[in-house]
Amino acid sequence: MTEITESLRTRVEHFFRKLQDEITATLEVLDGSKFFQETWERPGGGGGRSRILTEGSIFEKAGVNFSAVHGAVPDGMKNGADDLTFFATGTSLVLHPRSPKIPTVHANFRYFEQSNGDAWFGGGMDLTPYYLDEEDAIHFHSLLKTACDKHDGNYYPRFKKWCDEYFYIKHRGESRGIGGIFFDYLGGTLREREETFAFVQDAAHAFLPAYVPIVEKHRAEAFSEEEKRWQLLRRGRYVEFNLVYDRGTRFGLETNGRIESILMSLPTMARWEYDAQPALGSPEERLVNVLKFPREWALKL
């Protein structure tokens, strides 16, 4: 491992740690509640800080994790190399608001490095509204597009499509939400990695401006029992996606990961009803139509 690579690794870890601090500090002000922190160590090397806020004024459950772990590459990922070691660091979050008028949001940024020199970034963020507000969708996607365009004009269209494909609940024929960006295996030469790191920092810094104004806009809106029920049904879909398809979740479950951190993404409550269909022409149906047929949201600037 060269001096310069270690320096990138150190800077990336530092950035992700600070990102967790910035995001949780902002959310604490927004919600008026405090995160509870649990630090943990990974038996094979490294550890993390899980921060969780529950029963807040805005957030029913908000989890923001940071981790930096290292050790031997698990057997299934080795491809023949025997003494391969890895280093992985990242920050991931899922915020589930109480109100069905405020969307759930997920974001994740990570860096992975192997002792054979391979290294890459992955991540993204995506929005899961319970009711469609087109202005919100445009705001969220346009900020992501701006962060992408600064680095590569192909990033946004490519990562937006990747996001729609990744967060697809095949057995429902629906996306989990209205998307955002998703990318993985962005690596290459050391120089390319430095450029990717610059992009990852801009994308990560877009998170709060992309999401917080949406919370502020809807936080005072009233909602009915029926709207809450709809939120819980949609949270059932969130659980279905995470347990059936999400690669990170499934990898964690299969490799004896830290269960409480892995399943922190699940909502406090979820609901399943037999064949629950939204009424024709209802706001609920309007959301489902967008989940079945993803749209372009970003403003063409």
Residues 271 and 232: their CA atoms lie apart, in Å, by 5
Nearest distance from residue 145's CB to a copy of itself, in Å?
Answer: 33
Shortest Å distance, C-beta 225 to a copy of itself: 14
CB 179 within 8 A of CB 127: yes
If one asks whether residue 236 binds a copy of itself (CB under 8 A), the answer comes out as yes
Dihedrals φ, ψ of 203, to 5°? -65, -45
State which residue, 93 or 200, has the beta carbon closest to a copy of itself: 93
Question: Reduced to 3 states, what is the DSSP secondary structure of residue 45?
Answer: coil
Segment contacting a copy of itself by CB under 8 A, of 72-80, 98-106, 134-142, 258-266: 258-266
- Alpha-carbon distance of 159 to 125, in angstroms, equals 10
Are residues 65 and 93 in contact, defined by beta-carbon separation less than 8 angstroms? Answer: yes
Kindly give, in sequence order, each residue whose CB lies less than 8 Å from that of residue 152, ignoring residues fewer than 6 positions away: 199
DSSP annotation string for 32-98: S---EEEEEE-TTSEEEEEEEEES-SSEEEEEEEEEEEEEEPPGGG-TT-SS-EEEEEEEEEEEEES
7 versus 277: smaller Cβ distance to a copy of itself? 277
- Residue with Cβ nearer a copy of itself (67 or 196): 67
Beta carbons within 10 angstroms of residue 246's beta carbon: 19
When asked if residue 292 is in the footprint of a copy of itself (CB under 8 A), the reply is no
- Is residue 260 involved in binding a copy of itself (CB under 8 A)? yes
Q: Which residue has the tokens 């709809």?
A: 230
Cβ proximity to a copy of itself, 13 vs 246, nearer residue: 246
Q: Which of 275, 281, 293, 301 binds a copy of itself (CB under 8 A)?
A: 275
Which residues are tagged catalytic?
Answer: 106
Q: Is residue 170 involved in binding a copy of itself (CB under 8 A)?
A: yes
259 binds a copy of itself (CB under 8 A): yes
Q: How far is CA 299 from the centre of its chain?
A: 22
Report in angstroms how near the CB of residue 233 gets to a copy of itself at its nearest: 10
Min dist CB 268 to a copy of itself, Å, is 6
Q: Does 271 bind a copy of itself (CB under 8 A)?
A: yes
Within 8 A by CB and 6+ apart from 249, the residues are: 242, 243, 262, 263, 265
Q: Please, what is the minimum distance in Å from the beta carbon of residue 250 to a copy of itself?
A: 8
Binding of a copy of itself at residue 171 (CB under 8 A)?
A: yes
Of 213, 155, 209, the residue nearest 183 (C-alpha): 155
Interacting residue ranges for a copy of itself, rule: CB under 8 A: 38, 50, 52, 54, 61, 63, 170-172, 232, 236, 239-240, 243-244, 250, 252-253, 256, 259-260, 262-264, 266-275
